[in-house]
Structure 1
C-alpha cells in the first residue's frame, strides 16, 4: 500500500520534525509513505471571506497537482466523520481488500481546504471538533496510521 500525505505549509519545529521522522521510519515496515508539502498562502488578519476563499483556492490548486487519479482521498475536516483507532484500521484494511493500493490523506492550511479538494475527497475524517495546528496534526495522523497497521497485523502497541 502506498500512503501519501499532502500538507499545506512547512514544519519549522525540530521536535515535530523528529516525531514525523520517527513515525515515517516505523511506517516503512508496512507501507510506502510519501509526504508532500505545498506552499501555504499568507492570510492577512481580519481577511474577508472573499480573500479567504481565494487563499483556499490557491492552496487547493497546489494540492490537486499531487492527487493521483486512482488514489482514495481522505481529507481531514472538522465536520468529517470521527472514527476510533480500530475503525480507522478497519477502513485502511478494507480499502486494501477492495483493491485500493494508494491512499492520500490531505491536511489543509490554517483556514481549511479549498472547494476543489473537498469535491475530490472520498472520505472526510475528523479527529475532533477542536482545531489543531496543522503541523501537530501531521504527527497525530502519522501516529494513527502507524497504530492502524499495528492493529491490522495484530502486533502489540495498541492499548
Structure 2
C-alpha cells in the first residue's frame, strides 16, 4: 500500500485523486500550462475550495492548515480540491482562482512525493480538528 492510499484511507470521508495528463504536448510551456489549466479547472467540483500547491504560496504550519480547512467547513464548504501542477508549474488562471496558494517549502519536489506529503497533511489536519492524538506540537 502506498503512502497516499494509506493516509487517505484513514480519513472518515472519501477522497478522490484525479490525474490530468495532457496527451499531446504543446510546443511551449505556456501553451502546456494553459491546456492543463482548462482541464484542471473543469475538474474542480462546484462550490469546492481550491488549494493550489505553488512554490510562491504560503508556508503554513500544520495547525494553520487545519484551521483553514475548519474555517471552510464552518462556512459551509464541504469539498476542497487540491491541485499539484505539471512540470512547468500552474497557469496563472488556476492560481487566480485559488482560495489558498500553499507551499511545501522552497525546494522542488517530485509529484509523487508531493502527493504523499499532501495526503499526510490532510490526514494531520483532520486529526487536529477532530482532537485525535496523531499530531503533537
TM-score by length of 1: 0.79
1:71 to 44, 48, 70: 48
SS in 1 for 2:10: helix
Structure 2 residue aligned with 1:142: 119
The structure richer in strand per residue is 1
Q: Provide the C-alpha distance between the structure 2 equivalents of 1:85 and 1:41, rounded to a whole number of angstroms.
A: 36
Runs (4 or more) in structure 1 with deviation over 6 Å come to none
Q: How does 1:25-104 map to 2 (within 5 A)?
A: 25-27=9-11, 29=12, 31-40=13-22, 51-104=28-81
Query: Aligned residues, how many?
Result: 136
Deviations 1:55-83 (A, max 9, x none): 11111111112112311101000000110
SS in 1 for 2:53: strand
* Contact preservation (8 Å) 1:107, 1:134: yes
Q: Which runs of 5+ in 2 are unaligned?
A: none
TM-score by length of 2: 0.91
